């Protein structure tokens, strides 16, 4: 089922989300619906607050570009991207590493706005799957960026908050439709 993606200005996007303490049928169904919604919107990630649920759950699928990472380790083992995509993850903990890389980002909750965002190039993410498995994922490239973007959502942070002052000025007019009238 397609879910409504909330847009900039909705207070849920600024909430620090609550941990998922139990994987229920509702959570499993929500994950399936989030994936369907993300694919329909042509996204590579979607966090629960973007569909008005303030819980620490997100989905990512970057398998459309198998060259988008240089390395991927899951629990210390080299892993093929297709082995973990799509990924539904709960209660992530994020460690950042590597030089900062600037890439253009957009957000399904800020439609039509794209801007350059500097982020660390390597991440280590510890998270739980719907099956209760704990994963420790180390990666770079688009997957590392997607993790950072979606985990930011779980902390009430938007990619706009990561922009340089010059980038904020450059997109100011694009943000007008999201301003309260």
Per-residue pLDDT of 126-159, as tens digits, reads 999 999 999 999 999 999 999 999 999 999 999 9
> Is residue 31, in this structure, part of any structural domain at all?
yes
Distance CA 38, CA 60 (A): 9
Number of domains in the chain: 1
Q: Which pLDDT does position 103 carry in this prediction?
A: 96
- 150: annotated active-site residue: yes
Within a domain: 147: yes
Domain that holds residue 55: 11-171
> With helix as H, strand as E and coil as C, how does 23-68 read?
CCHHHHHHHHHHHHHHHHCCCCEEEHHHHCCCECEEEECCCCCCCC
80: three-class secondary structure by DSSP: coil
Sheet holding 45-47, edge to edge: 45-47, 57-60, 87-106, 114-128, 134-140, 72-74, 77-78
Inside any domain, residue 176? no
Whether residue 107 lies inside any domain: the answer is yes
In a domain, 38, yes or no: yes
Q: What is the pLDDT of residue 181?
A: 53
- Flag whether pLDDT at 66 surpasses 90: no
% the chain with pLDDT above 90: 93
Classify residue 177: in a domain, yes or no: no
Q: Which two tokens stand for residue 63?
A: 């398998």
What's the whole-number mean pLDDT along residues 42-48?
97
How many C-alpha atoms does 41 have within 13 Å on its Cβ side?
A: 27
Going 69 to 72 to 78 to 81, the CA torsion angle's sign is negative
Catalytic residue among 22, 93, 105, 150: 150
- For residue 181, is it within any domain? no
CATH number of the structural domain spanning residue 162: 3.90.45.10
Instruction: For residue 4, tell me if it sits in a domain.
Output: no
């Amino acid at each position: 089922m397609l879910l409504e993606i909330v847009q900039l200005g909705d207070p849920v996007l600024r909430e620090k989300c609550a941990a998922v303490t139990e994987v229920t049928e509702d959570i499993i169904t929500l994950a399936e619906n989030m994936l369907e919604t993300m694919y329909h919107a042509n996204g590579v990630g979607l966090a629960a607050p973007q569909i008005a649920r303030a819980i620490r759950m997100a989905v990512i699928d970057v398998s459309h570009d198998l060259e988008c990472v240089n390395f991927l380790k899951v629990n210390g083992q080299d892993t093929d991207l297709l082995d973990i995509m799509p990924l539904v993850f709960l209660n992530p903990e994020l460690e950042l590493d590597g030089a900062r890389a600037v890439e253009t980002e957009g957000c399904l909750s800020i439609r039509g706005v794209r801007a350059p965002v500097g982020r660390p190039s390597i991440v280590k993410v510890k998270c739980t799957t719907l099956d209760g498995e704990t994963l420790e994922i180390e990666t770079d490239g688009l997957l590392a960026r997607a993790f950072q973007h979606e985990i930011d959502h779980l902390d009430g942070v938007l990619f706009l908050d990561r922009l340089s002052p010059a980038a904020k000025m450059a997109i100011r007019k694009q943000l007008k439709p999201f301003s309260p009238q």
